[in-house]
Structure 1
Amino acid sequence: MSKYITIKDIANELGISKSTVSRALSGDSSNVKAETMKLITDTARRMGYHRNEMAVSLRKQSSHNIGIIIPEIVTSFYMTFISHVQTILHKHGYNVLIATSNESYIQERDNIEMMEHCMVDGLLISVCDKERNIDQYRRIESVGIPVVFFDRTVEGVEASQVRLDDYIMSFFMVEQLIRSGCKQIVHIPGPSRIRNGYERLRGYRDALEKFHIAYNPDLVLPPALSAEEGGQVVAEFIDKNIPFDAVFGFTETALIGAKNLMQKRGLRIPDDVRVCCMAGTTLCTLVHPTITAVEQPVEQMAEEACRLLMHNIANSGKHVEDVVLRGEIVERESTVKPTS
């Protein structure tokens, strides 16, 4: 017997035609007698038959599946986003397929092709590289699969996107550090391949300029995403004996690694150095001291991404929006010096 039970297997078991079995399993009670319908459905259940959803999708030209491609699963941001998306799409009859690129544009390309083979009705993508897969994004849209980019977005693709105002929020975060007395602010940037990294670095530089603080390239460290990378770049920086009084991180994971390293080196936070980051999640509340961060409106981002995607699925159109959301600076222990 084959691995999967088919309509032909059920027909052979009962000695009736495949068309009758097919009509019965699709609920066509007008063309199948009630007793025959019951016999067929009972036999299908006993034999372990499951409807071939891929075949149904081919007939209906819709799989009711939405693909989500994310760059990593270390932080809780993406899992929270996916949870909200699943809740929203489930109400509209959609299932969700999830793939992780692990910060590899090659893996992301494979994920896109896999989602296409699974006949998804649309894609939500947070990219790992702002340029490498532009051709794939354009191709997938050209074959009729709508795409909405979220969080990490791209330019030069005619598709909707939902993102944080990274420039403004990083500007405000650094401005807050400066107003609290910090003047030698270290920045742990994101990789240049990520659009957010450029915008957050630009916000950092412009905040310094506003307060007439000279930009010092020695205070901008090599890019870091993971906690291990964050600790490594800060360790190398400290060894240079360059004075600093604050650290502003591209993301919380790198900053937490940096924070842990600084504490091991005997630096007190926030007494000796204040630390904060962009894209904070609950991780920022699970360490000591808790970390000041710009937090993204994850639920709103999920709602907007789903709205845009479902609109283009329903209308088979090319409606394009650039939705820019405002984050919130949540001040915690890492930047607030205790009063004596």
Structure 2
Amino acid sequence: MSKYITIKDIANELGISKSTVSRALSGDSSNVKAETMQLIIETARRMGYHRNEMAVSLRKQSSHSVGIIIPEIVTSFYMTFISHVQAILRQHGYNVLIASSNESYIQECRNIEMMEHCMVDGLLISVCDKERNTDVYRRIVSRGTPVVFFDRTIDNVEASQVRSDDYIMAFFMVEQLIRSGNKRIVHIPGPSRIRNAYERQRGYRDALEKFHVDFNPDLVLPPALSAEEGSLVMDNFLDRNIPFDAVFGFTETALIGAKNLIQKRGLRIPDDVRVCCMAGTTLCTLVHPTITAVEQPVEQMAAEACRLLMLNMGNCEKHVEDVVLRGKTVERESTEQTGAHP
């Protein structure tokens, strides 16, 4: 017997036709006698039969599933997003397939191909590179697969996107530091391949300009995403003995690495240095001191992404929106007012 029980196996077991088994398992009571249907269902259950959803998808040209492709699984943001999306889509009868690109555009391309093979009805994508796979996105959109980009979005693809207003929230965060007396603010940026990195650094620079604080390129460190990278770039920076009084991070993981290194080198937070970041999650509350951060409206982002995706999955005419959501600054211990700052 094969690894997977088929309709043919059940038919052979009972000595009846495959078409009768198929009709019975489909609930066709008008063409199958009640006692025969009951016997087939009980036999299928006993033998461990499961419907081949892939075969059903091929026949119906629909899998009633949605693919979600994310760039990483380190922070809780993406897992929280997925949980909200699953809850919403489940109410509409959709299953969810999940794949992580691990910050690799090559792996992201493979994930997209895998989702296509699974015949998903739509895709939610947070990209790991704003340029590398543009042609791939255009191809799947042109083939009629609804796509919504979320969080990390791109330009030049005719598809809906849901993102946070990274520029304005970064501007407000740096403005708050300056109003608190900080003038030598280090920025740990994200990689240039991520659209959000440009917007957040632009907010940093414009806030300095507004308050007539000279931009110092020495205070912009090499890009960092992980805690290890954040620790490394901060270690190298501290070796240069450049004066600074605050750190603004692209994301919480890199900032946590930098924060730990700052404390290891004997500086006190927030007495000697204030630290804060964008894209904060519960990780910011699990360290000491707790970290001031801009938190994204993840539940709202999930709801908007699902709304746009389902709108396109149920509509022959393409509907494209650019939804920009406002994040929330949560002040914590890392930026508290102390007597050490002017």
What TM-score does the superposition give when structure 1 sets the normalisation length?
0.99
Tell me the distance in 2 between the aligned counterparts of 1:317 and 1:283. 41
Tell me the distance in 2 between the aligned counterparts of 1:39 and 1:329. 62
Amino acid at match of 1:239: D
Tell me the distance in 2 between the aligned counterparts of 1:86 and 1:70. 14
1:72-122 Cα offsets, whole Å, 9 max, x none, are 000000000000000000000011000000000000000000000000000
Shift of 1:2: 0.9
Tell me the distance in 1 between the aligned counterparts of 2:82 and 2:115. 16
> In the alignment, which residue of structure 1 is the partner of 2:230?
230
Amino acid at match of 2:134: I
> In the alignment, which residue of structure 1 is the partner of 2:261?
261
Shift of 1:337: 2.6
> In the alignment, which residue of structure 2 is the partner of 1:100?
100
Tell me the distance in 1 between the aligned counterparts of 2:180 and 2:143. 53
Amino acid at match of 1:199: E
SS at match of 1:242: coil
Report matched runs for 1:104-253 at 5 Å. 104-253=104-253
1:301-324 Cα offsets, whole Å, 9 max, x none, are 000000000000011331000000
Kindly tell me the number of residue pairs found equivalent between the two proteins: 340
Tell me the distance in 2 between the aligned counterparts of 1:339 and 1:274. 12
Tell me the distance in 1 between the aligned counterparts of 2:282 and 2:187. 22
Shift of 1:338: 4.5
> In the alignment, which residue of structure 2 is the partner of 1:65?
65
Shift of 1:339: 6.9
Tell me the distance in 1 between the aligned counterparts of 2:73 and 2:325. 22
> In the alignment, which residue of structure 1 is the partner of 2:39?
39
Amino acid at match of 1:6: T
Whether 1:289 and 2:289 are equivalent positions in the alignment is yes
Tell me the distance in 1 between the aligned counterparts of 2:59 and 2:338. 66
Shift of 1:13: 1.1
Q: CA-atom RMSD, angstroms? A: 0.9
Shift of 1:57: 1.1
Tell me the distance in 2 between the aligned counterparts of 1:148 and 1:257. 32
Shift of 1:211: 0.4
Matched-pair contact (CA < 8 Å) for 2:271–2:339: no
Amino acid at match of 1:262: I
1:251-275 Cα offsets, whole Å, 9 max, x none, are 0000000000000000000000000
Structure 2 residue runs without a partner (length 5+): none
SS at match of 2:314: helix
Deviating beyond 3 angstroms after TM superposition, the runs of 4 or more aligned structure 1 residues are none
